[in-house]
Amino acid sequence: MTTIRPGFTEPQPHAQPHPPAPAPRRRLPTGLLLSRSPGEPVQPAAEPLIAAYKATHPAADPAELRRAYAVAERMHRGQMRKSGNPYITHPLAVATILAELGMDRTTLVAALLHDTVEDTAYTLGECRADFGDDVAALVDGVTKLDGDRWGKDRAEAETFRKIVLAGAADLRVLIIKLTDRLHNLRTLGFQPPHKREKIAHRTLDLLIPFADRLGIYVLKREMDDLAFATLDPDAHAATETAVREALTRAPLALGPCAALLRACLAAQRVRAEVKIRPRHLWSVHKSLDGDLDGIRPSEVTRLLVLVDGTDQDCYIALGAVHAALHPFSGRVKDYIALPRFNLYRSLHTVVIGPDGDLLDVIIRTRAMHEVAEYGVIAHIRQADSGKAKVDAVASRSDLPWLARLLAWEADVPSAGFLDSLRTDLAEGTIAVFTPEGVIMPLPQRSTALDFAYALDPETGEHSIGALVNGRLAPLSSEVKVGNVVEILTAPDAAPTADWLGFARTAKARAHIQRYLDGTRDDEDARDGRAAVSAALAEHDLDLLAAEAGGECLSIARDLGYPDVESLYGAVTTGAVPLTELITRFRRTAP
């Protein structure tokens, strides 16, 4: 497993897992731009960051990084981490992780400053003036909303909504957020138990899926294992021990298979490297469902074939693998012809080893391997020859999963946003096809109704059934990988409450709920109007005349409602007492 480690990290607690809480952070007054003057010595703490940056950008000038560090250090001075270390160690560690990933200077500057606007007196305007619009936009994207102003729960939901929207404009916002959480997970032992568990759960539910969606598996694997260690330390320790023991037997058990593959690849004139690749602990724990008895090397490793060649060479390599070791029927997955939603491309197969063990084999080119490890970061690194290219790659709202998320986020109120986001990011995506061959990526267990709303909300709203692979199917039918689905519609069809029982995607549920709410509002308005009309008639007053004369609209606006329909709906719900409303009508009657 590739693990990104910064030049330093805070020590994990041992004898004292919960040190006394440090003094509250104090907000320092801001001043002019805090740049390093010619006579000011270089900050030694920043040098590992500079070295990591220069390793991947040898011709770059690190002066702006030093300047940003000086600002961050000055603004956070006096603030302490739970570990007792100066707070600046956190943004510095985040920036160093990003530098080791090969990220561009703008991202590193923003990472150094990412907590200044939230936790110090440094303002977004000052950040923009000091470091430019791009850095300020990234810092703003990862800055949490004020819980005191918004309310704790609403602030958390709206902060994630804000990150999603900022990430749609520039994926570097999400990358900074992920590395921020990774460093917090590394130092999670200093937090009290309830906070550790909450952070770990939120990581598994929301942030790790974002790492998966961006294809940044080098971050996802470590975050998986750190969250696992927090939430179930006994299972984590047992898995770690069992995996370590099994890996000691891996060379002997799998070495002959790897040698056989190398020989067959050479016979087919495919230049490739064959590696025995360990799986990370959380992956092993999930696949074995915690059953570690008799764990075998084949269960904790994969054989990775790195091809020096083209896509076509990968298919030749697949044939060579199947010639060397018997393939297990139905277990070939082609992510080269049909890439995953996160840019991932490889061939996967399962073969039967000489001792009868099932062996997972992954085949990819070296270029594919770079993307498989680093996802969108690999594309940003490749584009880092120019600012315009980096901006173009980082602005990827065309990614199917992100476009789907943006399609529903505005329709969900704060109270349900995190649950909807969690559902939308749930692990696993399937590819379903339109009759024209267009791929529609959907979460697993999606139904024909979800497919209809994925096409567009109007199709979903008027759907009445589906043809799945040419056969009539109800909207509640689950669609499978590779299904060809055609939606049947009718002009007078409309959503009903029971649709919420089988709509799986957040987009479908949001649109259905909005339609039902609108229908309910119409019904409330009709019922309220009827009640007002009957009550006025008892006092010899005509509602129709009051509506025509404008008295109804005037009363509605006096009570804070934009129109008479909203006023009538408030009568039905009890927000406006009918007796009080009739009194107002009588006062305005001629």
Q: Which active-site residues does the annotation give?
A: 118-119
Whole-angstrom CA distances from 461 to 285, 414, 455, 485, 523 are 42, 24, 11, 17, 19
* CA gap 479, 212 in Å, rounded: 23
Neighbours of 39 (CB within 10 A): 5
What residue type is 134 in one-letter code? D
Per-residue exposure over 252-288, b if at least 16 CB sit within 10 Å of its own CB, e if not: ebbeebbebbbebbeeeebebebebebbbbbbbbeee
For residue 164, give the nearest of 381, 380, 401, 507 by alpha carbon. Answer: 401
* CA gap 383, 395 in Å, rounded: 12
Q: Residue 71 has what DSSP assignment?
A: H
How wide is the angle at C-alpha 56 spanned by C-alphas 368 and 216, nearest 5°? 40
Neighbours of 362 (CB within 10 A): 20
- Residue 99's contacts (CB-CB under 8 Å, 6 or more residues apart) are 49, 52, 53, 55, 56, 108
Residue with tokens 């089988």: 502
- CB contact at 8 A, 376 and 343: yes
Per-residue exposure over 537-549, b if at least 16 CB sit within 10 Å of its own CB, e if not: eeeebebeebeee
Residue with tokens 């040698």: 259
Q: 3-state SS of the chain: helix, strand, coil percent to 5?
A: 55, 10, 35
* CA gap 61, 521 in Å, rounded: 60
* CA gap 145, 78 in Å, rounded: 23
- CB contact at 8 A, 285 and 336: no
Q: Residue 7 has what DSSP assignment?
A: S
Residue with tokens 């065309």: 398
Residue with tokens 């082609």: 334
CA 474 to chain CA centroid, nearest Å: 31
484 - beta bridge partners? 433
